[in-house]
Amino acid sequence: MPTPAQLLQGWLRRQLPGDAAGWLEAQAAAVGGAETDRALFLAISLVHRRIGKADLALSAADIAAAEATRPGWRPAGWSLDQAARIFLLLAAGGSPTRFAERLEQMFATADVGELIAFYRGLPLYPEQPRYVQRAGEGLRTNMKAVFEAVAHNNPYPAEQFDEHRWNQMVVKALFIGSTLYPIEGLERRWNPDLTHMLCDYAHERWAAGRTVSYELWRGVGPHADKAAVDDLARVLDNGGPVERQAAALALRESPHRDAASILGRDPDLAAAVHGGRISWDALAAKHSAPT
Amino acid sequence: MTYIDPHIHMLARTTADYEAMAAAGVVAIIEPAFWIGQPRTSVGSYIDYLSTLVGWERFRAAQFGIRHYCSIGLNSKEANNERLAEEVMQILPRFLLKEGVVAVGEIGYDEQTPAEDKYFRAQLELAKELNMLVQIHTPHRDKKRGTSRSMDVCIEHKLAPDRVVVDHNNEETAQEVLDRGFWAGFTIYPGTKMGNERMVEIVRRYGSEHIFINSSADWGVSDPLAVPKTAQLMRERGIAEEHIRRVTYENALKAFTAGGQMAESDWLSPPAIDQRTLFEGNSVLRGGQEPRIEGKRTKERMLIE
Q: What is the pLDDT of residues B21-80, one digit of tens each?
A: 999 999 999 999 999 989 999 999 999 999 999 999 999 999 899 999 999 999 999 999
Chain B CB within 8 Å of residue A144 CB: yes
**Residue range B209-222: average pLDDT?**
96
Contact call for A109 and B95, based on CB within 8 A: yes
Contact call for A145 and B272, based on CB within 8 A: no
Query: Rounded CA gap, A247 and B62, in Å?
Result: 35
Contact call for A53 and B55, based on CB within 8 A: no
Mean pLDDT computed over every residue of chain B: 91
Interface A–B counts its CB contacts (< 8 A) at 71
Least Cα separation, residue B160 to chain A (angstroms): 23
Burial (CB count within 10 angstroms: exposed 0-12, middle 13-18, buried 19+), residue B287 = exposed
| Beta-bridge partners for B69 | B30
Quick check: B291 pLDDT over 90? Answer: no
**Contact residues, chain B, for A138 at CB < 8 Å:** none
- What is the Cα B16 distance to its own chain's centre? 19
Quick check: B287 pLDDT over 60? Answer: no
**Residue range B230-247: average pLDDT?**
96
Instruction: Give tens-digit pLDDT for B248-273.
Output: 999 999 999 999 999 999 999 888 88
| DSSP codes, A52-78 | --PBP---HHHHHHHHHHSTT---TT-
Quick check: B293 pLDDT over 90? Answer: no
pLDDT of amino acid B282: 41
Query: Rounded CA gap, B4 and B10, in Å?
Result: 14
Instruction: Give tens-digit pLDDT for A106-150.
Output: 999 999 999 999 999 999 999 999 999 999 999 999 899 999 999
Confidence band, pLDDT 50/70/90 cuts, at residue B296: very low
Contact call for A143 and B94, based on CB within 8 A: no
Topology adopted by domain B3-302: TIM Barrel (3.20.20)
pLDDT of amino acid B279: 78
Chain A CB within 8 Å of residue B99 CB: yes
Q: Any idea where the domains of chain A sit in the sequence?
A: 4-130, 189-287
Count of other CB atoms within 10 angstroms of residue A26: 11
pLDDT of amino acid B286: 41
Q: Are strands B133-137 and B183-187 parallel, antiparallel or unpaired?
A: unpaired
Q: What percent of chain A has pLDDT over 90?
A: 95
Query: Rounded CA gap, B277 and A262, in Å?
Result: 40
Contact call for A41 and B94, based on CB within 8 A: yes
**Contact residues, chain B, for A148 at CB < 8 Å:** 277
pLDDT of amino acid A67: 98
Confidence band, pLDDT 50/70/90 cuts, at residue B277: confident
**Contact residues, chain A, for B274 at CB < 8 Å:** 53
Confidence band, pLDDT 50/70/90 cuts, at residue B285: very low
Of all residues in chain B, the one with the smallest CA distance to A116 is B277
Give every residue of chain A whose pLDDT is below 50, as ranges: 291
Contact call for B59 and A48, based on CB within 8 A: no
Chain A CB within 8 Å of residue B64 CB: no
Long-range contacts of A63-71 (CB under 8 A, 24+ apart): A65/A2, A65/A7, A66/A4, A66/A7, A68/A1, A69/A1, A69/A2, A69/A3, A69/A4, A69/A7, A70/A4, A70/A123, A70/A124, A70/A155, A71/A155
pLDDT of amino acid B198: 94
The pTM of this model reads 0.90
Please state, in angstroms and as integers, the Cα–Cα distance from residue B240 to each residue in A120, A149, A156, A275, B198, following that order: 50, 48, 58, 69, 17
pLDDT of amino acid B302: 56
The three-state secondary structure class of B166 is strand
Residues 72-101 of A with CB under 8 A from B: 77, 79, 81-82
Of the candidates A238, A237, A234, A208, the one whose C-alpha atom is nearest the C-alpha of residue A220 is A234
pLDDT of amino acid A289: 57
Instruction: Give tens-digit pLDDT for B133-161.
Output: 999 999 999 999 999 999 999 999 999 99
Q: Any idea where the domains of chain B sit in the sequence?
A: 3-302
**DSSP secondary-structure letter at B102?**
E
